[in-house]
Structure formats: C-alpha cells, structure tokens
Amino acid sequence: MKLDHPLAITMWDFSWLERRWPGAGYENWSQALDELVQRGYDAVRIDAYPHLHAAGATQQHTIIPCWNQQHWGSPAKTRVTIQPHLNDFLRLCQDRKIRVALSSWYQNDEQERRLMIANARVHAQQWAGVLDTIAADGLLDTILYVDLCNEWPLDVWAPYFLSAPTERQFESAASCRWMTSAIESLRSRYSQLDYCFSYTGAVPPQLNPADCLNKVFDFFEPHIWMVCCNNSEFYQRVDYHYPRFDDSGFRKMVDRAEPLYRSDPTYWQNLLQQSIESYADWSNRVKLPLITTECWGVVDYKDWPLLNWDWVKELCELGVRTAAATGRWAAIATSNFCGPQFVGMWRDIDWHRRLTDLIHESALPQEVRM
C-alpha cells in the first residue's frame, strides 16, 4: 500500500447490497457514491460475501438477519446475488476514484454456509474466488486491501472458527496459525494486495512483534470506541449489552447515555484519547501502520426518538483529530455511522467535509508513503 495522503474511509459493510429497498439508502449506488464523494471520502469498506460467492456467485442467496434493531444491513430476511453486483459496484467506485476495502461479516444464510469453512485453506480459497472474478473484469486496482474477517475471531462473525474458548482470542496460537495460513495462501496468488484481519479490543493485542502480525499483516485495523475503554465502563454504567432483537438497549441509551457523557465529558474524552494514543505508540513500535473504519464514540446508535447526534459527533471529531495528529493512520473513518441510512449523521455535509479535509492534510506513516 503506497499513498500520498491518508484516506478518508467509511464502512458500508453488508448494507451496500442488503439495504436496497426504497428508502433504505443504497437503492441507487450512483447517488450514494456521489454523496460520499461530496462529503470528501475516497475509500469505502464493504462485505464481499466470500462464503456465498463460493456457493454460487450468480445465484440468489437468502440472508438471515443478524439483528433487527441496528441499522446495518437488513432487519428482516432478504435475498442477495453477489455477482455481477459486486463488480458493478466496484466499477462505480473506480469511476469516482474511490478505493474499496473488501471484508466480510459472514452473514448467515438459510444453508448456514459460513459454518462450512472448515479451515484456513478453505477460508483463503473462498477469498481467492472473489478476487479471481474481480481480476477477470480488470478491477483489481480498485481494491485497497482485503480484511479476511471482520473483528476476528468473534463468534458472531467467525462462528466457523471452532476452537476451544481459551483459543478464541485474537492473539491465541490457534488464531495466529489460522490468520498466517490464510493470508500466506492468498498472497501467493495476489501478492500485490494488502491483507489483515480486523480487530476490536480496548487495548492493542498482546502479541510479540515476531508473531503473526509482522509476518503476514501489511497494516493493522483496530476498531476503537470510547464506550469500549476501561473494560467497557461507559456501557456498563448505561447497562447496554448489545441486544439485537429488542429495543431495551436503545431505551436505556435514551435515558442514560447522553446524560452520563454530559456529566463529565472530559473524563470520557480522555479515555478515548488515551486509547487512540496507545494504538499509535504500539503501531510505531511494531512498525505496522493503522487503518480504522469503525469508531470513535458509541458502537450502536441510530435515528431514534430522543437520541441526539450532537454528542456522538463531538466524540467522533475528537477521535479523528487525535488519530490524525499521531501520523500513524493510513486511513481514518469519521464514525461507523457514515452511511445514508443514518440520516442525522449523513446530512451534516459540512461536518464531514471539515473532518475529511483534516484527514487528507494529516501525516502518513512512513511505511505507506509514496
């Protein structure tokens, strides 16, 4: 990865393909991408559905929703076809000079095909199949990087990683063996691409630089939120525990979240800044540049009665400014709500432009400078 300035990136996850009913935000890709460019973004991270692509790239697949409260993806059963839609979307991005990061949340389908990923070899083969179809259409230059699994190895996204509970940690020996094997296999076929497994955690993983990160990762993609800092103190005090199919969590957010933040904003801001700076220091030590596509304030939020976006945007702006100042990020997101379905966040064009300009003007890690 060689860049001449940090990229402003956003996460469109599986929403880009699943949220295509009228009013869902992605029914007109050209319009959504034009609005993304208008806000100053030059990269987007999406789900390429490698497990469904392998089962039949041009076949229709029925998606079982992973939630109905959060506004990513579909809140109900829907049907998707991976190709030619993936390459159609990539062409539209190419036309607008938008780089595309490929990832996967391994959405469940009626046949539970994600559970058929028996090992790292199968995992890599499925991704190679996706890249083969992209390369065949001359679109490989559009790809910014490949994140082989979102927030590896959380069971919600990687249920196929059937290790013992003690091994279900990013830095475990079993996890490192899987990540190393999968990336090395893909790199043997597509050496020009950059690879990672994205990560969520309150602090950088406790890995020796000689371990799998420096062997096979081209950069590190941590997902960083204030609410996850200090053992998820903020969410513990709000009593929010990510309910996916009832609104009890959002009712607690209405009653408790903003009042808790406003009661001592400096405390919560300091937690976020300390977390970002700890990642920057770690990145400098292990000589891996950073990319963050999910961040900076709260994990779950949406347009909802009595939920105000102002305090969320305040934290997100602080996160962007703190990360940009470290010079360790190759691409920075403004939040994980930067998509047309989050109207309260999306419509503030000036806010986005101010932050994307800041990102573009910040320093690059030496490892990715042209």
Per-residue pLDDT tens over the stretch 216-260? 999 999 999 999 999 999 999 999 999 999 999 999 999 999 999
The domain 7-234+267-368 is classified under which CATH number: 3.40.50.2000, 3.30.460.80, 3.20.20.80, 2.160.10.10? Answer: 3.20.20.80
Q: What is the pLDDT of residue 107?
A: 98
Alpha carbon distance 130, 239 (integer Å)? 40
pLDDT in tens, 271-327: 999 999 999 999 999 899 999 999 999 999 999 999 999 999 999 999 999 999 999
What is the arithmetic mean of pLDDT over 6-33? 98
Please state the domain extents for the chain: 7-234+267-368
C-alpha–C-alpha distance, residues 153 and 147, integer Å = 12
Whether 360 and 37 have beta carbons less than 8 Å apart is answered as no
Among residues 53, 223, 221, the alpha carbon closest in space to that of 146 is found at: 221
Q: Is the pLDDT of residue 165 over 70?
A: no
> In whole numbers, what is the pLDDT of the chain averaged over residues?
95
Angle in degrees, 0-180, between the axes of helices 310-326 and 265-286, rounded to the nearest 10: 30
Question: How far apart are alpha carbons 105 and 115 in whole angstroms?
Answer: 13
Tell me how crowded residue 200 is: count the other CB atoms within 10 A of its CB.
18
For residue 153, is the peptide bond before it cis, meaning its omega torsion is within 30 degrees of 0?
Answer: yes
Q: What angle do CA 359, 365, 369 make, to 5 degrees?
A: 95
**Distance linking the first and last C-alpha atoms of the chain:** 9
Q: What is the pTM assigned to this prediction? A: 0.96
Average pLDDT of the segment spanning 148-174: 88
